[in-house]
Amino acid sequence: MLFAGTMLVPLAFAFFGNDAALSSYDEAILVTFFTGLALFLLGRRSHRELLPRDGFLLVSLVWTVLPAFGALPLLLHIKNLSFTDAYFEAASGLTTTGATVLTGLEKLPLSINVWRCLMVLIGGMGILVLAVAILPLLGVGGSQLFKAETPGPMKDQKLTPRIAQTARGLWTIYFAIALTCFLAYRLAGMGWADAFMHMCSTMGLGGFAAYDASYGAFDSPAIEMVAIVFMTIAGINFALYFMAWRQRSLRVVWRDVEARLYLGLLATAVASVTLFLLVRGVYPSFGEALRHAAFHVVSIATTTGFATRDYAQWPIFVPLMLLFLCCFTTCAGSTGGGIKLIRSLLLMKSAQREFKRIVHPRAVVPITLGGMAVDANVLQSVLAFMLVYGAVMVAATMLLLFSGLDVVTAFTAVVACLNNTGPGLGQVGPAGNYQGLSDFEIWVCTATMLLGRLELFSILVLFTRSFWRK
C-alpha cells in the first residue's frame, strides 16, 4: 500500500506536465493499493514476533514481488513491452542495478523516467535498512562485522520494532544527503526535473538516466564533479554517517578501516587510469584524462553505472579493471552492490595468516580489524559467501553461454548484474543495453541481480530443506 503511494510522485509529474502516461498511473496505483489492502485484511488478525526464518522469507518476497507492481506503469504505457522486460526494468531499479532494456529515453514521457529513477531511490532506502539492520540480524551481510558500533537491533534475537528506529535514523541521513545532491545538481546546471531524477539514481547508486547517452548528454564537468562527490558519499556505510550525526563529528567516518581503504582505493584507481589513458594517448591533456578517468572509475567502482563516454572503446585494460573494481569496492551498509570491501579485506588478512602459518606452524596469529579480533564464525561466513558468489557467477555465465551469447557479453553481463552495476561489455556495454537479449537471458540476469542485491544467502536459503522443516 505504501509502494502504491510512491507512484503519486510520477503521477504528479504526469498531471502537471500533461504527458501521455497519465492514465497509466491511475490503473497502476489502484491495482497495487488494493492488492496490498487485500493482503493486509487477510493477515490483520495474525500477531506474533517475526523470527529470522520469517525475515528471510519477507526480504525475498519484498524484492521479488514489488518489481511486478513497479513494472505496471511501464507495461500500461509502453507499447509492445513484454512483462519480462518490464519486470527486468523495475527489478533493475529497485535493486539499484541500473541495467535497462529501453531505448529512446528522451522520447519517453517525463513521468516514466521519473518513475524509473524514483525506484532506484526507493530501492536505496530499502537497501539501507536491509544491509544495516535486517541482514546482520539474520546473520547475513557484510555489516554484521560492525556489531559493536552500528546502531540498531544488531544484538536482538527477533525482528523487533527497534528496526523502525534504525530505519528512521538512516532515512533521515539519506534524505538529507539526497536533498543536498539535488540542489548541487541544480546549481551545476541541470533543470529541476533532471536534477531530481539523477539525484535519485546517484543516491541509490543505480545508474538510471533520462537520456540514452547517460551523463554524456550534459557534457558538463561541473555536473560530473557533483556526481563523483555524491557517488563517493553513497558508497560509504550509512551507519557511519548516522553515528557521525549523533556524535557531531566526521572523525567516526575517517576512523573506520573500511571507509579509509575505500577512499584510498578510489584515489589509487583514478590516478592509475588517468596515467594509463595519458600514456596510451587516449586523451591529449592531463585535465581531460583525469576528468573522464575520475568519473568512470567512481561510477563503475561504486556500482552506479553512469557513463559519459563509451569506455569499452578504451584499451581493454581499463574496462576490465573497472569491472574488477565493481566486484568489491563499495562498503558494507552502503547502497552499492558487490562483495563489499570489508569481506575482501578479511580474505586478504586470512591469506596473510596462512602465509605466516606456513613459515611458523605453531604461531597463534589472530585476525584483527580496527584493533579488535575477528570471530572465527565471521571468517567462515565470508569464506562461504565467496564460495557461493563464485558458484553463482559461473552457473549464470554458463546459462547465458548455453543460450548462445558470446563469452564477453555473457560473463560481463553476469558480473554487472551480480554486483548491481548495470553496464558490462560487448552487447551490454555502455553504448548498448540489455534490449537484444532473449527472454531466457533476461530472466537469468534478473535472477542474478536479485541474488546479488540480497547478499545471495537470503534467497538461496529458501531452497534448502532445513529452512522449511519445523
pLDDT digits (tens, 9 = 90+) for 92-113: 999 999 999 999 999 999 999 9
Quick one: three-class SS letters along the chain? CHHHHHCHHHHHHHHHHCCCCHHHHHHHHHHHHHHHHHHHHHHCCCCCCECHHHHHHHHHHHHHHHHHHHCHHHHHHCCCCCHHHHHHHHHHHHCCCCCCCCCCHHHCCHHHHHHHHHHHHHHHHHHHHHHHHHHHHCCCCHHHHHCCCCCCCCCCCCECCHHHHHHHHHHHHHHHHHHHHHHHHHHHCCCHHHHHHHHHHHHCCCCCCCCCCHHHHCCCHHHHHHHHHHHHHHCCCHHHHHHHHHHCCCHHHHHCHHHHHHHHHHHHHHHHHHHHHHHCCCCCCHHHHHHHHHHHHHHHHCCCCCCCCCHHHCCCHHHHHHHHHHCCCCCCCCCCCCCCHHHHHHHHHHHHHHHHHHHCCCCCCCCEECCEECCHHHHHHHHHHHHHHHHHHHHHHHHHHHCCCCHHHHHHHHHHHHCCCCCCCHHHCCCCCCCCCCHHHHHHHHHHHHHHHCCCHHHHHHHCHHHHCC
CA 220 centroid distance within chain: 25
Q: Is the pLDDT of residue 144 over 50?
A: no
Q: Is the pLDDT of residue 138 over 70?
A: no
What CA–CA distance (Å, rounded) separates 376 from 374? 6
pLDDT at 146: 35
164 lies in some domain: yes
For residues 397-425, average pLDDT? 95
Among 96-110, 141-155, 332-346, whose mean pLDDT is lowest?
Answer: 141-155
* Domain extent for 152: 2-237
251 lies in some domain: no
340 lies in some domain: no
pTM for the predicted model, two decimal places? 0.91
pLDDT digits (tens, 9 = 90+) for 106-136: 999 999 999 999 999 999 888 877 766 666 6
376 lies in some domain: no
pLDDT at 111: 94
Average pLDDT, the chain: 89
Where does residue 258 rank: exposed (0-12), middle (13-18), buried (19+ CB within 10 A)?
buried
What CA–CA distance (Å, rounded) separates 310 from 190? 22
Amino acid at 301: A
38 lies in some domain: yes
297 lies in some domain: no
| Domain count for the chain | 1
Q: Is the pLDDT of residue 190 over 90?
A: yes
Among 147-161, 316-330, 371-385, whose mean pLDDT is lowest?
Answer: 147-161
Q: Is the pLDDT of residue 152 over 60?
A: no
> Are the beta carbons of 330 and 342 closer than 8 angstroms?
no
Q: What percent of the chain has pLDDT over 90?
A: 63
390 lies in some domain: no
pLDDT at 271: 97
334 lies in some domain: no
pLDDT digits (tens, 9 = 90+) for 25-74: 999 999 999 999 999 999 888 877 777 788 888 888 989 999 999 999 99
> Are the beta carbons of 367 and 373 closer than 8 angstroms?
yes
> Are the beta carbons of 302 and 228 closer than 8 angstroms?
no
Q: Give how far Cα 311 sits from Cα of 268, 300, 419, Å.
A: 19, 11, 19
Q: Is the pLDDT of residue 425 over 80?
A: yes
Residue bearing cell 584483527: 368
